[in-house]
Every structure is written in structure tokens, then in C-alpha cells.
Amino acid sequence: MEIKIGITDVPREVTIESDDSAETIEAGLRESLAQPDGLFRLNDAKGRVVLVPTRTLAYLDLGQPNQRQVGFGRA
């Protein structure tokens, strides 16, 4: 799924692809926001980790789950 992260004082949004479900991401976000100096953690589809301090989060846009590719793309 494509996730767009808006960060305060940063003109461009951060976009990552993740294999996690929307429910899992939302639960992690709620848990991070509950802490005074929370750190929101996301794993992207390539195994990298993205950490964002919750005090800098402006918004989080959870896109549609990944659909299977059609054609000659990777399987």
C-alpha cells in the first residue's frame, strides 16, 4: 500500500510503499501518538525502516492496498 506522510515545515510529502495493512499502520500510529515524545515507525516493502517523530507529523494518507500487477511486470 502507498503511504503518504506529511511532515510539518517540510514542503514535500514522504511517500513509501509498505506491505503492512492499514489497520496495523493505524494501530502503530495511535500507539506512537499516545507517547509524549513518540516515534512513528514504518517498514517499507524493501525492508527499510522509516522513523518519524510524532510531534512533526502533519498527516498520514493510507492509500489502497497493492493490487496485483498485470502484464510483464514482476510476479
Cross-strand partners of 6: 59
Backbone φ and ψ of 73, nearest 5°? -70, 180
Q: What residue numbers bound the domain in which 19 lies?
A: 2-61
d(CA 38, CA 31): 8
Query: Within a domain: residue 72?
Result: no
Is 74 part of a structural domain of the chain? no
pLDDT in tens, the chain (75 residues): 899 999 999 999 999 999 888 899 999 999 999 998 999 999 998 999 999 999 999 999 988 765 556 666 565
Q: Is residue 68 part of a domain?
A: no
Q: Rounded to the nearest 5°, which phi and psi values hold at 10?
A: -125, 120
pTM of the model: 0.76
Asked if 51 and 37 touch (Cβ cutoff 8 Å), the reply is no
How many domains, the chain?
A: 1
Give residue 3's pLDDT.
92
Predicted pLDDT at 64: 72
